[in-house]
Structure 1
Amino acid sequence: MNSTEIQEIDQVEAKIGTEEASPVSKDEVPLSTGSLIFHEPGINCCIIAIMGYKSKLDPAVIKEGLKQTLIKHPCFSSKLVMNSGKKKWIRTQVNVDNHVILPEVDTVMESPSQFIEDYVTYLTRIPIDLSKPLWELHLVNLKTPEAEAVGIFRIHHSIGDGMSLISLLLACCRKSSDPKALPTLPKQKQADSRHPHPHGFFRLFLAIWSVLRLILNTLVDLLLFVATVVFLKDTKTPLKGSSGVEQNAKKIVHRTVSLDDIKLVKDAMGMTVNDVILGVTEAGLSRYLNRKYGEVDRGKGAEQKSNHLPRNIRLRATALVNIRQTAGIQKSKVKWGNQIGYICIPFTIALRNDPLDYLRGAKAAGDRKKLSLEAICTHLTNKCVVKLFGSKLSAALVYRVIFNTTMTLSNVVGPVEEISLYGHPIAFIAPSVYGHPQALTCHFQSYMNKMSIVLAVDPNVIPDPRLLCDDLEESLKIFKDAVVLAKDAD
């Protein structure tokens, strides 16, 4: 981190103050409306990020790096306090040794991957310590099939959303090829200006039609959102959690697939990476549920058939959408916290004769959501409810939406080249979240030419998450084969 960046953070540090400040001074910072919700029962969430490294971890180097970067940011050096019945952040002196945890491990154990999986599950059982800044880093010097060592970040969701936190984390990293350079994120492609643009009356007509569609789609989405709060529930399937699921420990597994394969499908179908991810998810869930219902049918002695799916399954994903106008690697000038809105994405659970129909449907759903202000409206609604009625009511509404849908879905863009955290090259990044009322959470995280598919599941509901990973991976393979075959046929 260069001197300018440190100076920016020091300026913020001076504004927030220290632990010795007066309890009623302006140095105390109220929690944002989004952060307040994440401290309410049922939505008390933590982000957990598993990071594999290509070398053994040096705890002393990492601690010194944290002192010079991460804990200079007020989000990671402020603790939660109650003052006059209100939750606030107050700056404190951070003892890095209390946040960097070094578990003792047997380096010759039979299954290191299982140990990491069990260790992460253990972390989801225990609450984070509220007496200090709400984050911790577990360093496990244990070789697995994918890495020489593993680091596990656990961060309370009230500190920030996934986009702001990974932006801050990346600001602490450097390119492995250039230790002085920040990581590079993919650039968003601009619209192709080679196509002729409509003029005159037709252009005016398209503009009016787009506005009307935007208004109509937003109204429909908000009505469905309200209906989900009040009564509209997803079908009870082998993926749907029951009451109290947010209190259960979670098992987190991940699978690495080729980002180049996703881009190949994207380019062939004329869509976005997000569209391909939606298609892969819909196809993978359909394969998994068909197998599960098939097991039930065979147990009842039903006749053999290939399609065991019930008709008209309602299955939706709640997606958290970043509403910041600023993208990329951010430092102290960006507005931190939880700047997110909620949208509900419906999936059509069915077996398709043409596998590319999953992608076509996903693109149509994605295009439809782009012409809606659902995320902005839900974000503003949350803010208004918190200010008028308090965070408990807002959290209750969010709880109803999440509980009445089946899963949470997220896609976070990562660096395009290998990066290092304080001199330790990173092999993979696998983030997830727990503490919300669902049995399934699916995150997609890109890094270099790879994509990590990360599942957080309640093992009481989904005892075989690796099988679901298989189905998601196989769906991508089927898409790739189909587009390659179609290209060859042309």
Structure 2
Amino acid sequence: MQRASPNSNQSTGSTALVLLNMRNLHDYKTVRDMVRPNSESPWGNYFAFLHVPIAKAKPSDSQFSDPLRFVRKAGETIKRKRSSFAVVLTGQLLEMMKKCRNPEAVARHINRTLRNSSMTIFNVIGPMEKLSLANHPVKAMYFTVIGTPESLQVTMISYAGNLRVVVRAEQGLIDSELYNRSLLDAFDMILHDACGKQ
């Protein structure tokens, strides 16, 4: 944000919406197991929201000159909030809305929540081993969620030891060349800092 407009985040607050999987899975379940009545892990999407404020960075802040410290701090914030009672209540609220009203009411609530968020972050842990479809090896995979109203979306998936990051932005929101340079600089700083501290 500072490169595009040095004072942009001094007056505005940005919030990331992290979607958490609330499905209680300890091992692989077949569809037949999940559709049974009173199943341990019923069929369907079970998730909750986690609102995470995006830190307001100043070039003079020491925490931003050390990229690993910034990443660790963001991770600690997400872990702390993920363990909060608010996440459980959000998941139960969505479930109660689905039972008492209907799935459309839940969809409207989720859409309103997404509309009031600056960005969303999705993370999927993919397969550790390479896959093939109809005897054709899958070299890589990625995903994005379309049709959602937020301005910026970041999706991440791991596949066979590689990480794919997809960024989807509202047209005209971000200078894509500047964003790509900034993202590569950030990854390089984190890699350099991580390798230098080992």
TM-score range, shorter chain: 0.7 to 0.9
Matched-pair contact (CA < 8 Å) for 1:290–1:309: yes
In structure 2, the residue corresponding to 1:433 is in which secondary structure? coil
Q: 1:401 to 1:456 in 2, by over 3 A?
A: same
1:336 Cα offset (Å): 2.5
**Per-residue Cα deviation, 1:382-422 (whole angstroms, up to 9, x for no partner):** 22223334444433332222111101101101122221112
Counterpart Cα distance in 2 of 1:385 and 1:413 = 29
Q: 1:328 to 1:454 in 2, by over 3 A?
A: farther
Which residue among 168, 173, 179 is the counterpart of 1:468?
Answer: 179
**Per-residue Cα deviation, 1:259-284 (whole angstroms, up to 9, x for no partner):** xxxxxxxxxxxxxxxxxxxxxxxxxx
Where does residue 50 of structure 2 map in the other structure? 343
1:379 Cα offset (Å): 1.9
2:183 corresponds to 1:482: no
Counterpart Cα distance in 2 of 1:467 and 1:331 = 45
Higher relative contact order (CA 8 A, sep 6+): 1
Where does residue 141 of structure 1 map in the other structure? none
Matched-pair contact (CA < 8 Å) for 2:157–2:164: yes
Which residue among 76, 85, 88 is the counterpart of 1:376?
Answer: 88
Where does residue 129 of structure 2 map in the other structure? 417
Where does residue 18 of structure 2 map in the other structure? 319
Unaligned runs of 5+ in 2: 35-41
Matched-pair contact (CA < 8 Å) for 1:382–1:394: yes
Matched-pair contact (CA < 8 Å) for 1:323–1:375: no
Partner AA of 2:140 in structure 1: F
Where does residue 430 of structure 1 map in the other structure? 142
| Larger Rg, first or second structure (1 or 2) | 1
Q: 1:415 to 1:387 in 2, by over 3 A?
A: closer
Counterpart Cα distance in 1 of 2:8 and 2:29 = 45
Matched-pair contact (CA < 8 Å) for 2:9–2:56: no
Where does residue 229 of structure 1 map in the other structure? none
Matched-pair contact (CA < 8 Å) for 1:318–1:343: yes
Where does residue 442 of structure 1 map in the other structure? 154
Counterpart Cα distance in 2 of 1:424 and 1:327 = 30
Q: TM-score, normalised by structure 1?
A: 0.35
Counterpart Cα distance in 2 of 1:414 and 1:477 = 24
Where does residue 30 of structure 2 map in the other structure? 331
Where does residue 408 of structure 1 map in the other structure? 120
1:328 Cα offset (Å): 5.7
State, as a whole percentage, how many aligned pairs show the same letter.
Answer: 24
Superposed, 1:26-425 pairs within 5 Å as 289-293=1-5, 307-311=6-10, 313-327=12-26, 329-332=28-31, 333-334=33-34, 335-350=42-57, 351=59, 352-425=64-137
Counterpart Cα distance in 1 of 2:171 and 2:137 = 32
Where does residue 149 of structure 1 map in the other structure? none
Partner AA of 1:359 in structure 2: V
1:426 Cα offset (Å): 0.7
Counterpart Cα distance in 1 of 2:127 and 2:106 = 35
Where does residue 37 of structure 2 map in the other structure? none
2:170 corresponds to 1:458: yes
**Per-residue Cα deviation, 1:446-467 (whole angstroms, up to 9, x for no partner):** 1112110011222243352x64
**Aligned residue pair count:** 185
Counterpart Cα distance in 2 of 1:469 and 1:340 = 30
Q: 1:473 to 1:337 in 2, by over 3 A?
A: farther
Q: 1:338 to 1:478 in 2, by over 3 A?
A: same
1:327 Cα offset (Å): 5.0
Where does residue 106 of structure 1 map in the other structure? none
1:367 Cα offset (Å): 2.9
**Per-residue Cα deviation, 1:304-362 (whole angstroms, up to 9, x for no partner):** xxx54442541111122111121565432233221111211222031423323312321
Matched-pair contact (CA < 8 Å) for 2:23–2:45: no
In structure 2, the residue corresponding to 1:349 is in which secondary structure? coil
Question: How big is the alpha-carbon RMSD for the aligned residues of Structure 1 and Structure 2?
Answer: 2.3
In structure 1, the residue corresponding to 2:115 is in which secondary structure? helix
Q: TM-score, normalised by structure 2?
A: 0.81
**Per-residue Cα deviation, 1:416-445 (whole angstroms, up to 9, x for no partner):** 222111211011111010112112110011
In structure 2, the residue corresponding to 1:428 is in which secondary structure? coil
Counterpart Cα distance in 1 of 2:165 and 2:49 = 21
Q: 1:375 to 1:348 in 2, by over 3 A?
A: same
Matched-pair contact (CA < 8 Å) for 2:18–2:122: yes
